[in-house]
Each structure stands twice: as structure tokens, then as C-alpha cells.
Copies of this chain bind each other. A is one copy, B any other.
Amino acid sequence: MYRTHHCGELRIEQVGQTVTLSGWVQKSRDKGFMMWTDLRDRYGITQLIFSEEKSDAALFELARSLGREFVIQVSGKVIERTSKNPNIPTGDIEIEVSELKVLNPAKLPPFTIEEDTDGGDDLRMKYRYLDLRRGSVQNNIIFRSQLSLEVRKYLSGEGFIEVETPNLIKSTPEGARDFIVPSRMNPGQFYALPQSPQTFKQILMISGLDKYFQIVKCFRDEDLRADRQPEFTQIDCEMSFVTQEDILNTFEGLTKHVFKTLKGIGLPDFPRMYYDDALRLYGSDKPDLRFGMQFTELNDLAKDKGFIVFDSAELVVGIVAEGQAEYTRKQIDQLTDWVKRPQIGARGLVYVKYNQDGSFKSSVGKFFDDEALKAWAEKMGAKPGDLMLILAGETDKTRKQLNELRLEMGRRMGLMKEGDFKPLWVLDFPLLEWDEEAERFHAMHHPFTSPKKEDIPRMLNGDFQTMKSLRADAYDLVINGAEIGGGSIRIHDRELQAKNFTLLGFTDEEAENQFGFLMGAFEYGAPPHGGIAFGFDRLCAVMNGQSSIRDFIAFPKNNQGRDMMIDAPAAVDKEQLDELKLDLQHIEEEIE
């Protein structure tokens, strides 16, 4: 037996007991005649004491030889500390060690295993097992485990069945790129790893499972941005005989449950916003509602007044930064440079300071007198002391730019408070999205999303412009500006699904080849159904006020899709490829 207790367990009540502990040496303080060692495991830290006076000489010497991260086993008596540490639960006691055994020595770690580690990203990824010893990283992984359990308990309690769908499926070129897996038994053929279990969960509804969920790995072979992973995890759900309202209520309930049980936070009912309004008021389909700063459109007040930038713009739109009229010229210039960066792409920034004395100072003072600016202020709800920031240009682009500016002002003004959670349902997404470049429609959500019932006749008979205006029973859950999940009511009718595939540019043959099984299934008694998927990694991060999902994944990959620890991907033997009937193409080495 390696231990009678773990390192976070002993209290003053156990004083006098003889115990055995095992763990890692966190650090030692050697005072010559006395030595204290912090012994660490997942559960906490317990202080060990060795003394020249009381300890056996060999034991004392062995204790002195212990390095950081040595794995040891000790036995000894629990004694009361003379100087207690109120910061840790075991701070009242220490162990007077009478037996010490080194279970495994440790080389000096390449970085310090502390909160403020000196290890860079690459080093910590390579030695991920050491990085995972740090409390914050370990807590993230433990939080993730607790969250998955609570999700499962809640959904099971609501009558959902967790069903494992297959990982070796079929490649469908629609959407993101698939990872494919050569089949040895079927040479020349490939499986694909699922980007989501979408068609399988719909099949489960057709099979009568009624309520399905799964916490499931999904795979996308995309070029990786900072916060994307080739494999990620979804809370995937589907329900039969439901309307959008049923789904929103169920998953609002789930979200409230996990915030309550894991964060102790009781969230009020989630507000709802139409997609069109979200874009109009926040320039984004995932507005951060921790602060206001809604957009005000100024076309009626700002256009046709002789200022060419506004006159030629499709949209003039602004926000109010409360109490920021004191912004200096330098600060304004800096902000102007910020919105003009290529990542934002605005052509300029118009500011109006509403001074405390009621006067105005603006970059467009030449074109607009105080009376005109006062009308702006009134429309925008600005008060003396506020700063109005205005952008102009093509509608979609300008809204996106102002969204970025709004978020930046929110950050600068400290409006995104830690521990503040503002969920929001965004509703009625468009069904289709026109891709100017490819000259085709994409599915805004995915090809299985149903148009709103009242839009179905228009979809079946409408012209090109009509298609752009179709709305879907599609919805996203947003928390603090992060998209936590999205879903839709699905098509369950073969004809409507076929029409949607046609709109998306599928030939009948392609549709049949890729999704024939699903369209076929629609003919054998498919119930109305819909669902949702939450990004599990993202939910973990957002619930902890963090922006990077990587910190909540035990073994993440880097931006090149590499696992730095195991050094994957890697070359494979020629024999393996021969078994799969594959050859490598000649690869031109890139010149650095």
C-alpha cells in the first residue's frame, strides 16, 4: 500500500496518527538542523518535517538529497505545526517523517512547475506531462471532467439517450475538409472522420430514439487559427416532435444547470434577439452583452450634408463611449490607426466629443454644426461627457468594423468583467448565404436546416432574390460574445431536402451519392426533428472566463496540427502504405 491518505486530506483532527503519504516533492526549505518539504499530489500539499535531532541520520541525509519532482513515499506521525499556514487546508499539521522511500527520482524539469512558469509554449507542449502538473492546467482538465458529467446527468434526467455514432464514416466534400482514412480491406476506398454526427443523429430520430445526445469528438482538416484544433469536442443533441421553442428551453435549462452546479451562478432567463437585429445593433451575430454600446444608425442625420465620406456611404453608424469625452487627440489618433489596420479595414474614424459644458468637438465639425451634432447625440443617447465614434461605408463591412471597435472600447473601458456571464439566443438566421466569389449559395448553418415554415412556399417557388431572403429555424447560443453552440430545426421531407441540395449546387447524382441514405430514410416515416450542438471546449473556456480552448484540452495540437509531445504526425513504413495500396507523391521541399 502506497498511502493511507492523499496530500490534501489531513487536518488537525488527525494529529497523533501514523500515516503514509506518496507524492511529488514540490520544494524543500533546508535550515541546516531542520528541513521542511512540501509533498504534492492532485489533492493538495502536505508539509513534511525532518530534523537532525529527531530523524535517523541516514533518513535526514536521504531527505536532503531529494530534488524537485522526486516521487517519494513517507510514513510518520501527524503533528501540529508551530507556525500554521491558513492558506492551505492542511496548513495546521505536518508529518514528522520516520520512513522515507524514493519511488522514482526526477531529472531537473526544463521549466518550473509553478503558476508563473518560465516555460515557453513549445517547451510546455513537448513536456505536456510536466505542464499538466501545474495547478491551473490541472484544474481546467478537472473542470472539463465535471462539466461533462453534469451535462450527462442533466440530459439523461431529461430523457436523452447517449448514442455513440461511428467515427469511420464517408467523406462528403460539402463544408470543411474531411480527414480521410484509407481502408485496407477495401483498397482504393476511404473512410472519413466525422465533422459532426449530423446525419447519424437525424437517422436516430428517424429510428425513433426521440431524444439523443452525445459528447463526441469531431474532426476538421482546416488550416488552424490560434484557437482551432483539428479534433474538438461537441455536446451533440437531437430531439423529435419539437419546435424551436422546445429546443431553446431544453438547452437553456442545461446551460443554467451547469452554471449553477459548477460555478454557483444562477443565470436569469436568456434574452433572445433576431439575427437581423444582432447585426443592426451590434454588427455581429454573437454580440457580447456584458455591456451596451449599441449601434445607432445615422443615415437620416448625417447624409446629404455635404460631407462626401458620409454621402457616398451606404451606412453611417456609431456608438457612444460613455464618459470618454476626455479622450486626447493622441488617443483618438491611436484609435483611428487601430480601426485602419488591415485586420479591421476601416477607412477612417469620425469622433464627436460631447463636452461636459454641452459643446461639441468633432473631426467633422466643418460639416456639422453643434445643433446637428446635438441631434446625433440625442439619437445616439449620448450625454455630456460622452464620446461618439462613427464609421461609414458599405453596410456589412462597416458593421463588422464597428463591432470590432465596440469590443475594443469595451476592453479599454473595462466593461468585460470577470465572473459576469451574459447569455443570448440569436434566432432566425438566414437559410442561405451567397458566396460572391464562388457565385453559389452556401448553407448558413448546414444543408439539413429547415427554412421557417412560412418561408417554405417561397423556397419551393421563389426566384434568386427570394432565396437570399429565406429565413431558417436556426439559432445560436452566445455567451459573452462567444458562440457556444448552434442548431436548427431540420428538413424531414425528401422533396424539400432535394430542393435545398439543388440550391446549394448539388447535382441530383451528387446528392444521391452522398446523402441518398438520409433522403431515403425520410420516406420511411421521418418525424419532425431538430437539434443543437455546443462546442464543449469553448463552453469550458467561456465558463472560466478564458478565451483559449487549448488550455482545456489535455493534449492539444499546435498550429501546424502537430502533437509536440509524441511528435505526430510522422512518416510511416512503406509496407504500411503498400498494404493500403497507396504511394506518396513526390513532395517538393519548400525552400525556407
Interfacial residues, chain A to chain B (CB-CB below 8 A): 1-3, 6, 22, 24, 40-43, 69-71, 73, 103-107, 109, 127-133, 138, 141-142, 144-146, 148-149, 152-153, 156, 161-171, 173, 177-193, 199-200, 203-204, 206-210, 217, 219, 221, 223-224, 230-231, 233, 241-243, 246, 492-493, 517, 521-528, 553-555, 557, 560-563, 565-573, 576, 578-585, 587
Give A528's nearest chain B residue, CB to CB: B103
CB of B129 within 8 A of CB of A527, answer: no
CB of B554 within 8 A of CB of A163, answer: yes
Give A178's nearest chain B residue, CB to CB: B576
Known: A170-B566, A209-B141. A242 touches B525 (CB 8 A): no
Question: B43, B70, B133, B166: which contacts A563 (Cβ < 8 A)?
Answer: B166
Question: B156, B170, B186: which contacts A145 (Cβ < 8 A)?
Answer: B156
Residues of B within 8 A of A173 (CB): 573, 576
15 cross-chain CB contacts under 8 A: A3-B241, A24-B208, A71-B528, A104-B525, A104-B528, A129-B204, A167-B219, A169-B568, A170-B566, A181-B181, A182-B182, A190-B570, A578-B585, A581-B584, A581-B587
How near does chain B come to A586, taking the closest CB pair, in angstroms? Answer: 8
Oligomer copy total? 2
Supply 12 further A-B pairs (C-beta < 8 A) apart from A2-B243, A73-B241, A190-B571.
A40-B208, A104-B492, A106-B524, A106-B525, A129-B206, A149-B156, A168-B179, A169-B566, A180-B182, A186-B569, A517-B565, A581-B584
CB of B582 within 8 A of CB of A521, answer: no
How far is it, in angstroms, between the C-alpha of A379 and the C-alpha of B570 when the chains are bound? Answer: 60
CB of B185 within 8 A of CB of A162, answer: no
How far is it, in angstroms, between the C-alpha of A524 and the C-alpha of B109 when the chains are bound? Answer: 7
How near does chain B come to A2, taking the closest CB pair, in angstroms? Answer: 4
How far is it, in angstroms, between the C-alpha of A580 and the C-alpha of B104 when the chains are bound? Answer: 44
Residues of B within 8 A of A156 (CB): 145-146, 149
Known: A188-B587, A580-B180. A208 touches B132 (CB 8 A): yes
How far is it, in angstroms, between the C-alpha of A231 and the C-alpha of B183 when the chains are bound? Answer: 13
How far is it, in angstroms, between the C-alpha of A13 and the C-alpha of B587 when the chains are bound? Answer: 74
CB of A203 within 8 A of CB of B129, answer: yes
Give A581's nearest chain B residue, CB to CB: B585
CB of A231 within 8 A of CB of B168, answer: yes
Residues of B within 8 A of A127 (CB): 524
Residues of B within 8 A of A186 (CB): 560-562, 569
CB of B580 within 8 A of CB of A583, answer: no
Residues of B within 8 A of A171 (CB): 570, 572, 576
Known: A138-B209, A163-B141, A183-B561. A104 touches B168 (CB 8 A): no
Give A582's nearest chain B residue, CB to CB: B582
How far is it, in angstroms, between the C-alpha of A133 and the C-alpha of B24 when the chains are bound? Answer: 54
Secondary structure dominating the interface of A: loop
Question: B170, B221, B572, B587: which contacts A187 (Cβ < 8 A)?
Answer: B587
How near does chain B come to A201, taking the closest CB pair, in angstroms? Answer: 10
Question: B70, B141, B164, B523: which contacts A161 (Cβ < 8 A)?
Answer: B141
How far is it, in angstroms, between the C-alpha of A167 and the C-alpha of B166 when the chains are bound? Answer: 13
How near does chain B come to A511, taking the closest CB pair, in angstroms? Answer: 14
How far is it, in angstroms, between the C-alpha of A170 and the C-alpha of B571 when the chains are bound? Answer: 9
CB of B566 within 8 A of CB of A517, answer: yes
How far is it, in angstroms, between the C-alpha of A105 and the C-alpha of B525 when the chains are bound? Answer: 6
Give A106's nearest chain B residue, CB to CB: B525
How near does chain B come to A534, taking the closest CB pair, in angstroms? Answer: 15
How near does chain B come to A459, taking the closest CB pair, in angstroms? Answer: 18
Question: B41, B179, B570: which contacts A210 (Cβ < 8 A)?
Answer: B41
Most interface-central of A107, A165, A554 (chain B CB within 10 A): A554
How far is it, in angstroms, between the C-alpha of A493 and the C-alpha of B169 when the chains are bound? Answer: 40
Residues of B within 8 A of A568 (CB): 168-170, 191-192
How near does chain B come to A22, taking the closest CB pair, in angstroms? Answer: 4
How near does chain B come to A512, taking the closest CB pair, in angstroms? Answer: 11
CB of A43 within 8 A of CB of B167, answer: no
Residues of B within 8 A of A522 (CB): 104
Residues of B within 8 A of A187 (CB): 585, 587
Question: B73, B554, B567, B569: which contacts A165 (Cβ < 8 A)?
Answer: B554
Give A3's nearest chain B residue, CB to CB: B241
Residues of B within 8 A of A104 (CB): 492-493, 522, 525-528
How near does chain B come to A27, taking the closest CB pair, in angstroms? Answer: 13
How near does chain B come to A143, taking the closest CB pair, in angstroms? Answer: 10
Give A189's nearest chain B residue, CB to CB: B569
Residues of B within 8 A of A153 (CB): 149, 153
Give A211's nearest chain B residue, CB to CB: B42
CB of B182 within 8 A of CB of A128, answer: no
CB of A185 within 8 A of CB of B524, answer: no
Residues of B within 8 A of A569 (CB): 168, 170, 181, 183, 186, 189-191
